[in-house]
């Protein structure tokens, strides 16, 4: 890695944190270079514009998520577990929560949207492969796999990533997932234990 490349990565990491915690629009180039302790010119030496930097930051995030998904796929675990693992990677991992939480603040709408869309695009083929594996093993029975997978990702994202959700949401999600993939009832129920319930509403 060249000298300049290293610094660029550092800059991306700094911006990544700042974009997440304050939103892209609310993070000024001045603030970034101040935190990075570099000159204005240095910033523009590495990035053509602030927007181009955003693209690179997003790419970086997507790559991370995709990488995690690929690792799950290669693990020696039952197919349903793989699916659950990847589905939960659409939503921020528990560990990262504090920072990623910012992704749902309205000020992050732009970045949030871009990431969500791209992430679904990237994960769909990976997850489809897993589902196909499942159909071969007789665990699932369905056609139009990529469309079904995309739908699962959309549901997972739309249900668990936007504000709060209830225990019933999980139950319904599991039921729906099984039906969408043509699995036997109960196949995916273990998912219940995986959901980060810190965001969950308690029934009143």
Partner DNA sequence: GATGAATGAGTATTCATTCAT
Partner DNA sequence: GATGAATGAATACTCATTCAT
Residues that bind a copy of itself (CB under 8 A): 25, 106-107, 109-110, 112-114, 117, 144, 147-148, 150-151, 154-155, 157-159, 162-163, 166, 168-169, 171-173, 175-176, 179-180
How far is residue 85's CA from residue 38's CA, in Å, rounded to a whole number? 39
CB of residue 28 to DNA, shortest distance in Å: 3
- Secondary-structure breakdown of the chain: helix, strand, coil percentages, each rounded to the nearest 5: 75, 0, 25
How far is residue 77's CA from residue 135's CA, in Å, rounded to a whole number? 16
Count Cα neighbours of 40 within 13 Å in the Cβ-side half-sphere.
3
**Residue 85 CB: number of other CB atoms within 10 A?**
20
First and final C-alpha spacing in the chain: 56
Within residues 43-102, the interface with DNA by CB under 7 A covers 43-46, 49-51
CB of residue 190 to a copy of itself, shortest distance in Å: 19
How far is residue 178's CA from residue 136's CA, in Å, rounded to a whole number? 16
Tell me whether residue 5 or residue 94 sits nearer to DNA (CB atom). Answer: 5
Residue of 13, 34, 39, 196 that binds DNA (CB under 7 A): 39
Tell me whether residue 47 or residue 160 sits nearer to DNA (CB atom). Answer: 47
For residue 71, the partner it binds in DNA, a copy of itself, none, with Cβ less than 5 to 8 A by kind, is: none
Q: Residue 10 interacts with DNA (CB under 7 A)? A: no
The answer to whether 87 touches 69, Cβ cutoff 8 Å, is no
Tell me whether residue 25 or residue 169 sits nearer to DNA (CB atom). Answer: 25
CB of residue 156 to DNA, shortest distance in Å: 32
Q: Residue 7 interacts with DNA (CB under 7 A)? A: yes
Total binding residues toward DNA, as defined by CB under 7 A: 23
The answer to whether 126 touches 86, Cβ cutoff 8 Å, is yes
- Burial-class residue 44 by CB neighbours within 10 Å (0-12, 13-18, 19+): middle
CB of residue 200 to DNA, shortest distance in Å: 35
Summarize as ranges the residues that interact with DNA (CB under 7 A). 2-5, 7, 26-31, 38-46, 49-51
């Amino acid at each position: 890695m060249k000298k300049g490349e290293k610094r660029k990565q550092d800059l991306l990491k700094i911006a990544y944190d700042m974009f997440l915690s304050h939103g892209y629009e609310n993070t000024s180039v001045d603030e970034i270079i101040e935190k990075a302790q570099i000159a204005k010119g240095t910033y523009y030496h590495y990035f053509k514009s602030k927007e181009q930097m955003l693209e690179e930051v997003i790419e970086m995030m997507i790559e991370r998520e995709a990488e995690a998904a690929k690792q799950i796929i290669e693990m020696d675990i039952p197919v349903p577990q793989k699916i659950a693992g990847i589905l939960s990677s659409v939503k921020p991992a528990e560990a990262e929560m504090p920072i990623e939480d910012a992704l749902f603040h309205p000020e992050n709408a732009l970045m949030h949207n871009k990431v969500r869309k791209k992430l679904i695009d990237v994960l769909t083929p990976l997850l489809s492969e897993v589902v196909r594996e499942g159909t071969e093993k007789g665990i699932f029975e369905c056609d139009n796999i990529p469309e079904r997978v995309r739908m699962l990702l959309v549901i997972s994202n739309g249900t668990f990533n936007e504000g709060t959700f209830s225990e019933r949401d999980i139950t319904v999600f599991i039921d729906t997932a099984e039906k969408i993939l043509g699995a036997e009832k109960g196949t995916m129920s273990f998912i219940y234990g995986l959901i980060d319930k810190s965001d969950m509403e308690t029934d009143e």
